[in-house]
Amino acid sequence: MVSSPPDDVPDFVVVDVETACSRVSSICQIGIVGFRDGREAFAYETLVDPRDEFHLFNTRIHGIAADHVVGQPHFGDIHSIVDGYLAGRTTVAHSYFDKGALAAACRVHDLDAIQTTWLDSVRVAKRAWPELASHRLNVLTSHLGIAHRHHDALSDARAAGWVVVKAIEHTGIPLADWLLPAPKPPRRPLPKPAAQGPLKGERIAVLGEPRDGRLAQAIAAQGGRVVASVGLTTTILAIAGVAPYPVDIRYNAQFLKADGLRRAGHPIRILAEAELFA
């Protein structure tokens, strides 16, 4: 679906991309939605020939395979269109994966970087609804009653835009203030480990919940020491929720650090919550 931006400038635009393989430059679908005055103003969506291989892992996530992009434009063909929608505006993305993917695609195709002001809707959601255990897009849309088809670029972009609209309505914080650094909440102490328990001696970082939340309290009750972040002495990265852990976790900085340490030979395990307590 393609529609042109209206004459009036949107308050913000939202972008989402899907990729064909582990290289973030391999954009195979892009969706852009503009919002003005709390409503959708325009939308743009296209499949993209990434000129790269398709991995089955990625196709299983978004359903796009190599035969779907035959005859579709490559990123160089649509760069000026994407730049026209995003450049000089506030651009929302749910996490900075999409920002990195667009930057990588520009480098691979030897094109100018898109100059825009980025706003992470994950950060917005965490500030607006801190009580939620997860701020993944599908969790937020379920909580907020937003129609959504996960891992479709246009639907994801539209959903992330509505998250921002509803966060503004919920908090009363205007769009311009979301671009400012959020005030730091008072640091809450980490739970103290029990003197004994099956996790005694383990140093465990928690991902997907606050570091003093339900999972951290359960770890401490079993003798494990909860640490603020992944480091050289961390023995386990525990991911909140049921196994297998969400695909999006792969792009989290703590996950990437733990995975890098594991690959380098450090004795650190990455376990879903159920695996940890098994």
Averaged over 218-235, what is the pLDDT? Answer: 92
How many Å apart are CA 198 and CA 103, to the nearest integer?
A: 46
pLDDT for residue 188? 76
Percent of residues, the chain, with pLDDT higher than 70 = 93
**Cα→Cα distances 114→77, 108, 177, 261, 263, Å:** 14, 14, 23, 33, 34
Residue 141's closest CA among 120, 157, 123? 157
* Residue 200 pLDDT: 93
Closest CA to 272 of 220, 237, 223: 237
pLDDT at 248: 64
Q: For the residues 119-129, what does the mean pLDDT come to?
A: 95
pLDDT single digits (tens) 165-210: 999 999 999 999 999 987 776 777 888 999 999 999 999 999 888 7
Q: How far apart are CA 98 and CA 25, in angstroms?
A: 10
- Nearest-5° angle of CA 61, CA 46, CA 77? 120
Angle in degrees, CA 82, 84, 85, rounded to 5? 70
Q: Looking at the predicted structure, is the pLDDT value of residue 36 above 60?
A: yes
Residue 101 scores a pLDDT above 90:
yes
What is the chain's length? Answer: 278
47 pLDDT band (50/70/90 cuts)? Answer: very high
Quick one: pLDDT at residue 8?
A: 65
- In angstroms, the CA 162 to CA 239 distance is 27
Q: Does the global pTM surpass 0.85?
A: no
Mean pLDDT of the chain: 91
* DSSP H or E run through 243: none
47 within 8 A of 18, measured Cβ to Cβ:
no
Can you list the domains of the chain with their CATH numbers? 12-178 (3.30.420.10), 203-277 (3.40.50.10190)
Q: How far apart are CA 185 and CA 162, in angstroms?
A: 25
CA distance 12 to 66: 32
pLDDT of residue 244: 63
In the numeric block, which tokens belong to residue 248?
């999006």
pLDDT the model gives residue 253? 83
Residue 247, pLDDT score? 60
| Residue 191 to residues 194, 202, 222, Cα–Cα distance (Å) | 9, 14, 11
Q: Are 16 and 153 in contact (CB under 8 A)?
A: yes
37-41-43 Cα angle (round to 5): 145
Average pLDDT over residues 119-143: 93
> Mean per-residue pLDDT for 49-70?
96
